[in-house]
Amino acid sequence: MPVYEYTALNDKGKNVSGIIDCESAKAARQKLRASKIYTVSIREVDNPAQKKEKGSLPSFRPFARVGSAEISMMTRQLATLLTAGFPLVTALDTLIKQTTTPVLKRTLSRIKDSVEEGKSFAGSLAEYPGIFSQVYINMVKAGEASGTLEIVLERLADISENQAALTSKIKGALAYPIFMTLIGCVVLFLLLTFVVPNMTSIFSDMGKALPLPTRILIGTSDFLGSWWWVLAILFTAAIVGLSAFKTSEKGKRVIDRTLMTLPVFGDLVLKLAVARFSRTLGSLLENGVSMMNALDVVKNVAGNSLISETIALAAREVEQGHELGAALNASKVFPFLSIQMIKVGEQSGELETMLNKVADVYEKEVESSLVGMTALLEPAIILLMGVVVGFIVFSICLPIFEMNQLIK
């Protein structure tokens, strides 16, 4: 059913706006007029799903996205409404009225129409893969099948909030060191390209060979002053090339493998991927998704191609009757502790609980490691800046000291 956006006046003369689903614009106006809302303008909103069926390309809207926080809030509200006894269609209609994000509002309206037409909630969500992940869709499908949709939605909201909190902690821990590094680089660039040339120009009339540190400083300053634009072009080209390389399957595999081999940082990447794998797989299994379907979903959300390949190989072994712990251990990628905990969970019949514990362990390790790294990075950056600035000062002062000695 088409969806229309409208601006109108209510019976009190106030401006109102929103969306409405009707067979035609005329029917939409009549429906609004029956509610004492008089339309000023109305237009149909493009439906990406309908465009896909017709074979045309969807329009490019770089800012028409829905954030994970909005999805989490919507999921929590929907779970609350369903728990309170609201039918699904009524709950969706209530959410549509409360949602302020236009993209999410239109998407929920189309999902409600699809559910009213007899399609399952999970099937309706699957039409919008750019908004709802495979994990989300599969868990909703399992919840519908088991009659525990509200419980599944509560768990989905918990997962989204936990992942958002962890991501926020990681970004917060790295923000200050990155900011200090950028500011330091800018300050050094300005010193070398503007301040140093003015100060070293007095040495040009000395008629004497300058000390090696001073020559290095002057050469570096001259190079940056003359060729900074070349460096800027090369830096931009490197970023663009790396981004393009990362989008290819081969490039992503190379980058992911390289990251895993880095000292300290590679260990963090591995632990974060294992935590994401364990949390997602545990949640899927708890909500009734079969092991094979769960592994097929999880391999796409691991965030690392090496981990994804390991999960895919393990899924084949599990399909042939092997245990998950043994199948994951064959690749020698997953940490020893995670493998042992998964094996214990399989033997005790509490694999889902153990997977969540694995996620808890590695999320805490990542968080504590980041705190330790940033605690070391901050003084290291300051020390490095001090060494560079000290070298600049020493290189400028050294010829002056030599001149004083000659005068004496």
DSSP string, 371-397: HHHHHHHHHHHHHHHHHHHHHHHHHHH
Give residue 23's identity as a one-letter amino acid code: E
pLDDT at 81 over 70: yes
In one-letter notation, the amino acid at residue 226 is S
Mean pLDDT of all residues belonging to the chain: 79
Regarding pTM above 0.75, the answer is no
Name the more confident of 402 and 262.
262
Q: If DSSP codes are grouped into helix, strand and coil, which group holds residue 20? A: strand
- Mean pLDDT in residue range 276-286: 84
Mean pLDDT calculated for residue range 87-111: 84
β pairing state of 3-10 and 15-21: antiparallel
Residue 93, C-beta contacts closer than 8 angstroms, at least 6 positions apart: 112
Within 10 A of 306 (CB to CB), how many other CB atoms are there? Answer: 19
Give the list of residues 6+ apart from residue 47 with CB closer than 8 angstroms, or none.
Answer: 2, 3, 110
What's the average model confidence in pLDDT over 320-343?
Answer: 89
pLDDT at 182 over 50: yes
Integer Cα distance of 70 and 325 in angstroms: 36
Q: What is the pLDDT of residues 2-15, one digit of tens each?
A: 667 777 777 776 77
Please give the distance of CA 370 from its chain centroid, rounded to a whole number.
Answer: 18
Q: Where residue 233 falls among pLDDT bands split at 50, 70, 90? A: very high
Delimit the domains of the chain by residue range.
Answer: 3-45, 68-159, 190-408
pLDDT of residue 49: 43
Q: What is the pLDDT of residues 19-50, one digit of tens each?
A: 776 777 777 777 777 777 777 677 776 544 44
**Distance (Å) of CA 78 to CA 103, 107, 157, 191, 196:** 17, 14, 10, 57, 62
User: Is it true that 68-159 and 190-408 share their CATH fold?
Assistant: yes
Tell me which of 3.40.50.12160, 1.20.950.20, 3.40.50.12590, 1.20.81.30 is the CATH number of domain 190-408. Answer: 1.20.81.30
Which range, of 61-65, 214-218, 279-283, 298-302, averages the lowest pLDDT? Answer: 61-65
Phi, psi of 333 (to 5 degrees): -100, -45
Q: How many CB atoms lie within 10 A of CB 336?
A: 9
Q: Residue for token digits 């004496």?
A: 408
The 3-state secondary structure of 90-122 reads HHHHHHHHHCCCHHHHHHHHHHHHHHHCCCCHH
> Is the pLDDT confidence value at 221 over 80?
yes
Residues 6+ apart with CB under 8 A from 50: none
Q: Which of 35-44, 64-73, 202-211, 294-303 is predicted with the least confidence, judged by mean pLDDT?
A: 202-211
CA separation for the pair 262, 285 (Å, rounded): 33
pLDDT on residue 56: 36
**What pLDDT, on the 0 to 100 scale, is given for residue 357?**
92
Q: What is the mean pLDDT of residues 326-345?
A: 89
More confident residue, 186 or 18: 186
Residue pair 126/144 in contact (Cβ under 8 Å)? The answer is no
- Return d(Cα 52, Cα 55) in angstroms, integer: 5
Residue 238 reports pLDDT greater than 60: yes
What is the Cα–Cα distance from 368 to 166, expressed in whole angstroms?
Answer: 12
Confidence check: pLDDT of 61 > 50 = no
Neighbouring C-alpha atoms within 13 Å toward the C-beta of 111:
27
Q: Give domain 68-159's CATH architecture.
A: Up-down Bundle (1.20)
Torsions phi, psi for 363 (to 5 deg)? -65, -40
Query: How far is the C-alpha of 357 from the C-alpha of 369, rounded, in Å?
Result: 18
Most confident of 141-145, 339-343, 368-372: 339-343
Residue 387 pLDDT > 60, yes or no?
Answer: yes
pLDDT at position 65: 61
Cα torsion for 390, 391, 395, 400, to the nearest 10°?
A: 20
What order do you get walking across the sheet with 37-45 strand by strand? 15-21, 3-10, 37-45
Supply angle C-alpha 269, 311, 324, rounded to 5: 115
Q: With a cut of 70, say whether residue 155 has pLDDT above it.
A: yes
Q: How far apart are CA 164 and CA 262, in angstroms?
A: 25
DSSP, collapsed to helix, strand or coil, labels residue 214 as helix
Q: What is the mean pLDDT of residues 161-185?
A: 80
* Rounded Cα gap, residues 389 and 384, in angstroms: 9
AA identity, residue 380:
A
Q: What are the Cα distances from residue 267, in Å, to 272, 327, 344?
A: 9, 21, 23
| End-to-end CA separation in angstroms for the chain | 95
Q: Which helix (H) or strand (E) holds 307?
A: helix 305-319
